[in-house]
A and B are shown apart, each in its own frame.
Chain A
Amino acid sequence: MSGPSTYAPKSALGQWFESRLPIGGLIHSSFVAYPTPRNLNYLWAFGAILSFMLIAQILTGIILAMHYVPNETMAFGSVEHIMRDVNYGWLMRYLHSNGASMFFLAVYVHMLRGLYYGSFMAPREVLWILGVIIYLLMVATAFLGYVLPWGSMSFAGATVITNLFTAIPLVGTTIAHWLWGGYAVGDPTLNRFFSLHYLLPFMIVGVVILHVWALHVVGQNNPDGVEVVDVEKDTVPFTPYATFKDFFAVSVFFILYAWFVFFIPNYLLDADNSVMANPLVTPAHIVPEWYLLPFYAMLRAIPNKLMGVIALFGAIAILAFIPWLNWSQVKSAKYRPTFRFFFWVFVAVGIGLGYLGSQEPTDTTNWIARALMFYYFAFFIVIMPWLGLVEKTKPLPKTIADAVLAKNAALTKAGVAA
């Protein structure tokens, strides 16, 4: 996919600059001339959607940081100040809080796309692992950010998650005190969480750059899971095809985003977070934000404190091993009917765990959560390797061009018949 650049600046100034810092050539080869498989569907637009959401979060976040005060006595009030006094402060706040939810919605679609079409398989293992690292940083950033408004749920969330470290034998409590800067979540904790919340998104930007770089070296996967053979026949230049397709997808996504921000901005916010934090009282019903609910369900399902924590981190860590847990030679689930079935069960399991995470735990729900958790881990550790060995897959097309032509032939036949 990468070769000598075909970019030749026309002006003398352009040539002068290009010979000193070839940014023009880099942008041209990465986003203009870059060969993009011609059979990509709209699920491939989520990379662009995620980039826009990252920029939106950073922009609104920096603006919010101009008005927010990370001090225990003033944090909650400063958020109200933003909502009521600052020009368009309500808009900045709602864009940022709903933006986080939209960011996670997009990232889950993006990850599930990767699982479905085998985008994690060779030679894209490092690309996938970089993605897992980005996801981990996103979860950390979201957790830190949720603490900042200093509502009841913010405080409860901070307490629960930092208390996870006390599960570590011997050094756990010392680590927790070190994190808190005290003996419980308090003002020092809030201040350092603000600093880290400002830092982590820029680390995400760094890893995203590596992620896109890794992608461009090996080239994109595609819905048929067949690698590019002939650049002329199988691909189109990124600009204008993918550029405009991405713009369109981003616009539709932003309509959904705007729907939340302008009509139901508090739908995803927990009511308890509109009450200021009180270290002496915990809300009756503690839940994290929706995108963390499946992992929360897993944590609660295990009765043992340390094992619950290990299960929680294990559920995310296992994602990094998927390239080696999958033993199928066929990438795309389009040609793997059995895998497709187990995949959709996996999605249902994820949604089920999320639902259970939002409910009060009872004996019954705990057993169901354990069963769902078992499937979650079994999907990666048992089903993926086993299917790789025994699955009967559908015949693959020889090239991407063949796949596109076959699809068009089928559509034309249907058109003619109709």
Chain B
Amino acid sequence: MGVRLSSAVTVDPNRRDMLFILTGAVAAVGAGSLVWPLVDQMNPDASTLALSSTEVDLSAIAEGQIITVKWRGGPVFVRHRTKKEIDEAANVNLADLKDPQADKDRVQKPEWLICSGVCTHLGCVPLGHEGEFGGWKCPCHGSVYDTSGRIRQGPAPLNLPVMAYTFLTDTKVKIG
């Protein structure tokens, strides 16, 4: 009874060892190719990927107005900034900022601020035209953002992220 899986004293690997190793290798490749689809099916599917970019018509947004657009399941702020708001955003000492970033590095056209609407603290959606800096204020824990979407007060660590977007025309922008 019982089976010796390989000879007790092995100097050269024998044929049986080779067969075992080959079988094991094929089984490992088989197992990997079996597991990958089971895991990959949870990744974003084709219909979700198709929604990964959104077009926004800017012509209806008045000066001073902020609209919120849904992109990849979350809010994106599109703000048509007034001259006052652009100047306030530009004239800031970078040393005062928790997350230093110049306003010109955050916009393509200065009158259009397009950034994520997710507070970088714990994910609530900040309220527009609130807070001392005229930008946004988050109702959850009091983070305050300025007219460039940069964090000024409160527990949030980073500025509102700016994602990739392209101006298709002067009045149409594609986000993502």
A window 58-110: CB within 8 A of B: 59, 63, 66-67, 81, 84-89, 91-92
- Which residues of chain B are near A67, meaning CB under 8 Å? 41, 45
B1 and A232 contact, CB distance less than 8 A: yes
Chain A residues near B38 (CB, 8 Å)?
Answer: 59, 63, 88
A237-B1 in contact (CB<8A): yes
Given A236-B1, A237-B1, A237-B2, CB of A66 within 8 Å of CB of B42:
yes
Residues of B close to A397: CB separation below 8 A? none
Which listed residue (A66, A87, A237) contacts B37, Cβ 8 A?
A87
Asked if B47 is at the interface (CB within 8 A of a chain A CB), the reply is: yes
B18 contacts chain A at the CB level, 8 A cutoff: no
Q: Decide: B1 and A89 in contact? CB cutoff 8 A.
A: no
Q: Is A206 an interface residue (CB 8 A)?
A: no
Known: A236-B1, A240-B3. A63 touches B47 (CB 8 A): no
- List A contacts of B45 (CB < 8 A): 67, 81, 85-87, 89
B46 close to chain A: CB less than 8 A: yes
A299 → chain B closest CB, angstroms: 38
What range describes how many residues of A lie at the interface?
Answer: 10 to 19
> In the complex the two chains form, is B41's CB within 8 Å of A87's CB?
yes
Report if B40 contacts A (CB, 8 A).
Answer: yes
Q: Determine if B43 is an interface residue (Cβ-Cβ < 8 Å).
A: yes
Number of A-B contacts (CB under 8 A): 38
A84 close to B37 (CB less than 8 A): no
Residues of A within 8 A of B2 (CB): 237
B30-53 residues at the A interface, CB under 8 angstroms = 37-38, 40-43, 45-48
**Would you call the interface of chain A mostly helix, strand, loop, or mixed?**
helix
Find A86's partner among B1, B3, B41 (CB 8 Å cutoff).
Answer: B41
Contact A92 B1 (CB under 8 A): no
The answer to whether B46 touches A84, judged by C-beta atoms less than 8 angstroms apart, is yes
Residue of B2, B45, B46, B47 with most partner-chain A CB within 10 A: B45
Residue-wise interface mask of A (218-255) relative to B, using a CB-CB cutoff of 8 A (1 in contact, 0 not): 00000000000000100011001100000000000000
Closest chain A CB from B24 CB (angstroms): 12
Please give the number of chain B residues whose Cβ is less than 8 angstroms from any Cβ of chain A in the complex: 13
Binary contact readout B63-101 vs A (1 if CB under 8 angstroms, 0 otherwise): 000000000000000000000000000000000000000
CB pair B47–A88 under 8 Å, yes or no, is no
| Smallest beta-carbon distance A257→chain B, Å | 12
Q: Which residue of A lies closest to B40 (CB)?
A: A87
* Nearest CB of B to A93, in Å: 10
Interface residues of A in 159-190 (CB under 8 A from B): none
Taken together as a complex, chains A and B put the C-alpha atoms of A89 and B48 apart, in Å, by: 14
Question: With contacts A91-B37, A92-B37, A232-B1 known, is A85 near B42, CB below 8 A?
Answer: no
**How distant is the Cα of A92 from the Cα of B39 in the complex, in angstroms?**
11
A8 CB to nearest chain B CB (Å): 16
A87 contact set on B, CB distance < 8 A: 37, 40-41, 43, 45-46
Given contacts A84-B46, A85-B46, A85-B47, contact A63 B1 (CB under 8 A): no
**Closest-CB distance, A225 to chain B (whole angstroms):** 24
Give the distance to chain B from A68, nearest Cβ to Cβ, in Å.
12
B80 CB to nearest chain A CB (Å): 36
A84 to B38, CA, bound (A): 16
Please, what's the 1-or-0 string for A245-289, where 1 marks a CB less than 8 Å from any CB in chain B?
A: 000000000000000000000000000000000000000000000
State in angstroms the CA–CA spacing of A271 and B27 once bound together. Answer: 36
Is there contact, CB below 8 Å, between A88 and B40?
yes
Contact residues of B between 84 and 128, Cβ < 8 Å to A: none
Measured in the bound complex, the distance between the Cα atoms of B48 and A84 in whole Å is 12
Q: Mark B1-20, 1 if CB is under 8 A from A, else 0.
A: 11100000000000000000
Q: Which residues of B contact A66 (CB under 8 A)?
A: 41-42
Interface centre among A67, A88, A232 (most CB of B within 10 A): A88
- In the assembled complex, the Cα of A86 lies from the Cα of B1 at a distance in Å of 50
- Quick check: A89 and B41 within 8 Å, CB to CB? yes
Taking CB as reference atom, which chain A residue is nearest B27?
Answer: A247
- Pick from B43, B46, B48 the residue with the most CB of A within 10 Å: B46
Closest to A60 in B: B38
Contact between chains at A81 and B47 (CB < 8 Å): yes
Which of A84, A87, A91, A92 has most chain B Cβ within 10 Å?
A87
Bound Cα distance from A63 to B39, whole angstroms: 9
Contact among B3, B41, B43, B46 with A92 in the assembled complex (CB-CB below 8 Å)? B41
User: Does A88 contact B3, Cβ atoms closer than 8 Å?
Assistant: no
C-alpha gap A80/B46 in the complex (Å)? 12
* CA of A326 to CA of B41, assembled, Å: 50
Q: Give CA–CA (A91, B41) in the complex, Å.
A: 10
A241 to B3, CA, bound (A): 9
The answer on a CB contact under 8 Å between A88 and B1 is no
Q: Mark B120-150, 1 if CB is under 8 A from A, else 0.
A: 0000000000000000000000000000000
- Min Cβ gap B62→A in Å is 38
How far, in angstroms, from A86 to B48 measured CA to CA in the complex? 9
A-B contact pairs, 15 of them (CB 8 A): A59-B38, A63-B38, A63-B41, A66-B42, A85-B46, A86-B45, A87-B40, A87-B43, A87-B45, A88-B40, A88-B41, A89-B45, A92-B37, A236-B1, A241-B3
Instruction: Report the 7 A-B pairs with minimum CB-CB distance, sorted nearest first.
Output: A88-B37, A85-B46, A85-B45, A85-B47, A86-B45, A87-B40, A88-B41
Sample of 8 more A-B contacts, CB < 8 Å, known A67-B45, A240-B3: A85-B45, A85-B47, A85-B48, A86-B46, A87-B37, A88-B38, A89-B45, A237-B2
